[in-house]
Chains A and B, each alone.
Chain A
Amino acid sequence: MSSTAIPYAGAGDHGHDAHGHHHETFLTKYIFSQDHKMIAKQFLITGIIMAFFAMFLSILFRIQLAWPEKDFPILEVFLGKWAEGGRIRPDFFLSLVTIHGTIMVFFVLTAGLSGTFSNLLIPLQLGARDMASPFMNMLSYWFFFSACVVMISSFFVESGPASAGWTIYPPLSALPQAIPGSGTGMSLWLASMVLFIASQVMGGINYISTVLNMRTKGMSLWRMPLTIWAVFLTAIVGLLSFPVLVSAVVLLIFDRSMGTSFYLSDIIIGGKILPNEGGSPILFQHLFWFLGHPEVYIVLMPALGLTSEVIATNSRKPIFGYHAMVYSLIGITVLSFIVWGHHMFVTGMNPFLGGVFMITTLIIAVPSAVKTFNYLATLWRGNLKFTPAMLFAIGLVSFFISGGLTGIFLGNSALDINLHDTYFVVAHFHLVMGSASICGMLCGVYHWYPKMFGRMMNDKLGYLHFWMTFIGAYLVFFPMHFMGIDGVPRRYYSFTNFPFMQEWLTVNVFITWAAIIAGFGQIAFLFNFFYSIWFGKKATQNPWNSNTLEWTTPVEHLHGNWPGEIPTVYRWPYDYSKPGHDEDFIPQTTPFSETMTSNLPHDFEGDAVAEQIQREWDKEHGIERVVHH
């Protein structure tokens, strides 16, 4: 593209971001929007709806677990034959567990989290008018939306939704005659997932391309906010791992519908011998977990990025160890690809290979711990502002520690023999991945709500929501550790058939009540979210006194983000409470020439001329600067 400097004003198929007076219809503004801010809101609201749906499913199976002998006629009213006589049927219980997991992991914490905040923050925090390809961005949302529709539609087919668990291991998932859920429901699950991956790929390509090509003047990689680092690395992880899931899914579809034997061998079902020979179900597990493990970091890393930003802003302190934060994210990114075997310790893996995976798994604790300590060090002696967003950010740190610790147990291939597929695992990932990430997501919603909707959410409802969620999540998941250590397996329909599990029934009742109460807490959020869109307090331009670029855009959204020129960036995003400055924050757009009282030698990154000017100014004003080395 070197010889193409032909001035061409108004070029491009999507050149309308250049015109403030562009005519928009309801359809192009709210439905088929190509504006990244609107697409972010579409992702968020769809994600919230899916989250409530999946949460409702979890309450349903919690009711079964707590009161297996009781009838709830109301269930039959809206579940029909799946809850005959008011009791959830075993195969439908498995569907509930499966779809709860699928929706939460993929639709809420992947698309709802990454989709919302990558779309919102990449252009706004980097100073771009929009994404690299707004059209592809729009397609990304609509593929996601179709995936949601297909997934939910599986509740309306005769044989019910998929029920082989969110990991859809064959042969269970490959044989329609095995369980009802492996029939049409499974086909819909696979179709939905292909649409979903297409959406993620289109989104991810856009995020990476925008971050690397469309930053404003002065926004070097090392001046990017940690949010951007996180979503950028998340997109890389997604693009490298999602195609592998496609490859696994395609082979599974062939096995299901065409009679190949990639995963199937030696199966007798209902007294009939199947013709499939020579397949390897372990092959599926390898392919699945090559995505599946990076997936948990796809879920977690954006949450870590959002909280880094929120904790620094609300501690009124620079983030502790900015570079260490970035390098630990990079470390997690790389390591996430070489730990997948720890999900397969007990499925017949070579013990030596298991040992290798154990070591890589335990190494991932290092960057994770670096991040944790940096969060705590940022909070340490900070001028803490306990906004709802800040509380959720601290909630993430708490869940990340308490859930991360049990990861060290599970990553050990010897201990995993006992703990595999027990409630200990359920407790572990619901804390470290589920609760931590959802806290990160909610933290992001509360913090960037004024940017998205131009209004503030209600603080009091926010506090109520936080405490119900935070305490509720611990009450729900903490007891599960003990059940798991006692050997109670996950995904079991009823605890009444095994004497050793019966003792845990009372604990199940406790957990279910905690889940129901925490669920009610979410209604406070739902009300707060939708009420504030129309009736919330009007937001000011920079309500949190934050440094990053998105708070320099007008409250009223416009296509192209900034009226006039895009601002230039002069400094990193974490100049909070800098000694010598009259305010406790210095936006990235403030040049050093305007902050002569607070500049430090290392601010100039080795620029000798600037250092000289600063020294002369200091001498002139009689300022003695203490330089720490």
Chain B
Amino acid sequence: MVQPKDSYDYLATLKAKKFSLYVFLVVSFMLFAAWSSGFIVYTAGGEDKGLKTLLPHTFIFSTLSILLSSATIHLSYSAAKIGNLAKQKLWLVMTILLGALFFVLQYNAWMELARSGVMFINNNASQSFIYVFVWAHQAHIFAGVIVLLNALFKANNKQPLIKNRFRMELASVFWHFLDILWIYIYVFLLLNQ
């Protein structure tokens, strides 16, 4: 009785889903924008506020690792576009490993911060904000890794290529966003250091 779903319907759904992802990125960015403005308002509250410290150098290395992972996810997506599953998986694994490396480096960075006396529990909340930014971003990275793992395990010959490619497209958009988000956070903190 109901018409069979045609390819137009299906493509329209995909388009809507991709659009949904972009909307989600806006939502996610608003969260960080709120903390940024909170940071600015708080820091303007007095002379004794502000970062009052240099950010650990480890952040430079973590930035490099996430930049590199943006390149690898792009290679993976390019492979998916021409239907080269093996290459796609290889670059995906590389991206996931770089994501793990990023986490290790971030962990080291906040240990360094703590060693230099910049604690999360702090009467200068500007310094606590560093942890809030890094942790919240890290939570997003964990979500991103789950997305990548999903794309990795579902990449097989049993499924139509269009679904694989679509999944890869969304995964790469999200991962690039995490990259850009980190650069935003890092630059924001550097400017206030």
Query: 6 other contacts beyond A132-B19, A262-B42, with CB at 8 A cut-off?
Result: A8-B162, A11-B5, A212-B16, A258-B121, A260-B125, A286-B38
Residues 79 to 130 of chain B near chain A (Cβ within 8 Å) = 120-125, 128
Residues 14 to 38 of chain A near chain B (Cβ within 8 Å) = 15, 17-20
Known interface pairs A12-B13, A250-B132; A290-B34 also in contact (CB < 8 Å):
yes
Residues of A within 8 A of B26 (CB): 239-240
Interface size on A, as a range, is: 35 or more
Residues of A within 8 A of B (CB): 1, 4-12, 15, 17-20, 129, 132-133, 136, 201, 204-206, 208-210, 212-214, 239-244, 246-248, 250-251, 254, 258-262, 275-280, 283, 286-287, 290, 558, 560, 563-565
Interface size on B, as a range, is: 35 or more
Contact B13 A251 (CB under 8 A): no
Contact B9 A239 (CB under 8 A): no
CA distance A11 to B41 in the complex (A): 50
Contact B20 A133 (CB under 8 A): yes
Residues of B within 8 A of A9 (CB): 4-7
Residues 129 to 178 of chain B near chain A (Cβ within 8 Å) = 132, 136, 160-163, 165-166
Q: Mark B176-188, 1 if CB is under 8 A from A, else 0.
A: 0000000000000
Contact A205 B5 (CB under 8 A): no
CA distance A254 to B128 in the complex (A): 10
Q: Which of A10, A205, A242, A251 touches B23 (beta carbons < 8 Å)?
A: A205
What 8 A-B pairs come out closest when comparing CB atoms?
A: A132-B16, A247-B34, A277-B123, A213-B16, A243-B30, A18-B5, A244-B34, A20-B1
Residue B191 interfacial (CB < 8 Å): no
Residues of B within 8 A of A (CB): 1-7, 9-20, 23-24, 26-28, 30-31, 33-35, 37-38, 41-42, 45-46, 48-49, 120-125, 128, 132, 136, 160-163, 165-166
Contact A278 B125 (CB under 8 A): yes
Residues of A within 8 A of B38 (CB): 247-248, 251, 262, 283, 286-287
Residues of B within 8 A of A5 (CB): 7, 11
Q: Which of A244, A259, A276 touches B30 (beta carbons < 8 Å)?
A: A244
Residues of A within 8 A of B33 (CB): 244
Q: Which of A4, A213, A243, A259 touches B19 (beta carbons < 8 Å)?
A: A213
CA distance A6 to B11 in the complex (A): 9
Contact A258 B23 (CB under 8 A): no
> Least Cβ distance of A174 to chain B in Å?
13
Kindly report which residue of chain B lies nearest to residue A286, judged by CB atoms.
B41
Residues of A within 8 A of B19 (CB): 132, 208-209, 212-213
Kindly report which residue of chain B lies nearest to residue A129, judged by CB atoms.
B9
Contact A11 B163 (CB under 8 A): yes
Known interface pairs A17-B5, A201-B27, A244-B30; A260-B128 also in contact (CB < 8 Å):
yes
Q: Which of A8, A205, A250 touches B20 (beta carbons < 8 Å)?
A: A205
**21 CB-based A-B contacts, threshold 8 Å:** A5-B11, A9-B4, A11-B10, A12-B10, A133-B17, A205-B24, A209-B16, A209-B17, A209-B19, A209-B20, A239-B26, A247-B38, A248-B38, A251-B38, A260-B121, A260-B128, A262-B38, A276-B123, A278-B125, A564-B2, A565-B3
